[in-house]
Amino acid sequence: MNLYSTSLPKETVWYFIRKRIGFFLVLSGFIIIAAGSSRLTGFSLIDAFQAIPRVVSWMFSNLIPDKRAFERLPRILEKLWDTILMSVMSSVTAAVFAFGFALLGSVTTKPNNFFAVFSRATASINRNIPVAAWAMIFLLTFGQSSFTGFLALFFASFGFLTRAFIETIDETSISSVEALRAVGAGYSQQVMQAVMPSAMPQMISWVLYMIEVNIRSATLVGLLTGSGIGFMFSIYYKSLQYKSASMVILTIVVVVLLIEYISNSVRRRIL
């Protein structure tokens, strides 16, 4: 049979025409929404593009670190180290609690429905409060301190990780847990012998991701709570020492990239 001479069935032709029409509808929908919202907010893409050269030249004259900024580097790095430690600590502590809650909340390991609903509700409330709001909440009770920053990061991470761990457990261990149940294994045996080995690599990967996120948010949280690298930034910024402030930003960027690189290589090894 010659593949090229037979004509396509009508419904096949129509199927592809319909798909193409659908694509154009979605595309024009996007354009309309973008145009509409830019009118509403007074934001113009063209103005924004025209402003780029000005922004760049301002950045070059004001944000290239000078000698003074370099002299401050040791102190900046010290604060940065504090921030990294705080991010790692808040992520890891949150992970421990999140694992407990995830065991209660996942379909695979929930002891009963009451705990499951309780765990999922707690996680989802936590997750939907932004880290800045957490910082504000704890500022009222603990004042400006690194403990406030730690708590803010901890609670935001806890909600996110609980949710991520619940999904990981259900995705990776539901079948092996069932097998262990059939064998007569008890709850803690199921958790240690089936859930842990199956879910651990993915959970570690989530914690690494959380550390990355937390280093970024630690900057913002530090601004509010007067601690860590964010605090350094706000001091320089408020005293109009933009070159030192940009030094802070540069070190943050380098650290975030470094952490991302490290966690990617760890991931490659364990997954």
Partner 1 sequence: MPQLHVKNLTKYYKDVLALSDVSFAVEKGDFVGIIGPSGSGKTTLVRCINRLITATGGEICLNNDKNILEMNRSEIRKARTGIGMIFQHYNLVDRLTVIENVLHGRLGYKNTVSGVFGHYTEGEKRKALEVLGLLGLDEHVYRRCDQLSGGQKQRVGIARALVQEPEIILCDEPISSLDPGSSKKIMDYLRKIQSELGITILVNLHQVDVARTYAKRILGFNNGKLVYDGPSELLTTERIQEIYGKEAHELILN
List contacts with partner 1 (CB under 8 A): 173, 175-176, 178-186, 188-189, 192-194, 197-198, 201
User: What's the min distance (Å) between Cβ of 169 and partner 1?
Assistant: 13
Complex with partner 1: residue 116 or 200, whichever CB lies closer: 200
d(CA 58, CA 130): 32
Q: Is 250 exposed, middle or buried (0-12, 13-18, 19+ CB in 10 A)?
A: middle
User: What's the min distance (Å) between Cβ of 124 and partner 1?
Assistant: 26
Count of CB atoms within 10 A of residue 62's CB? 12
Residue with tokens 């957490």: 134
d(CA 148, CA 136): 9
Residue 44 backbone dihedrals phi, psi, to 5 degrees: -120, 125
Complex with partner 1: residue 185 or 220, whichever CB lies closer: 185
For residue 66, give both structure tokens.
Answer: 């000078």
Complex with partner 1: residue 73 or 174, whichever CB lies closer: 174
Complex with partner 1: residue 131 or 177, whichever CB lies closer: 177
User: What's the min distance (Å) between Cβ of 172 and partner 1?
Assistant: 9
User: What's the min distance (Å) between Cβ of 194 and partner 1?
Assistant: 5
d(CA 91, CA 98): 10
CA atoms 109, 163, 92, 174: torsion sign: positive
Count of CB atoms within 10 A of residue 143's CB? 11
User: What's the min distance (Å) between Cβ of 268 and partner 1?
Assistant: 16
User: What's the min distance (Å) between Cβ of 196 and partner 1?
Assistant: 9
d(CA 83, CA 161): 20
Complex with partner 1: residue 94 or 103, whichever CB lies closer: 103
Residues 6+ apart with CB under 8 A from 13: none
Complex with partner 1: residue 140 or 182, whichever CB lies closer: 182
Complex with partner 1: residue 52 or 182, whichever CB lies closer: 182
With beta carbons less than 8 A apart as the criterion, state whether 251 and 84 touch.
Answer: no
The single-letter DSSP state of residue 160 is H
Residue with tokens 């973008």: 34
User: What's the min distance (Å) between Cβ of 108 and partner 1?
Assistant: 12
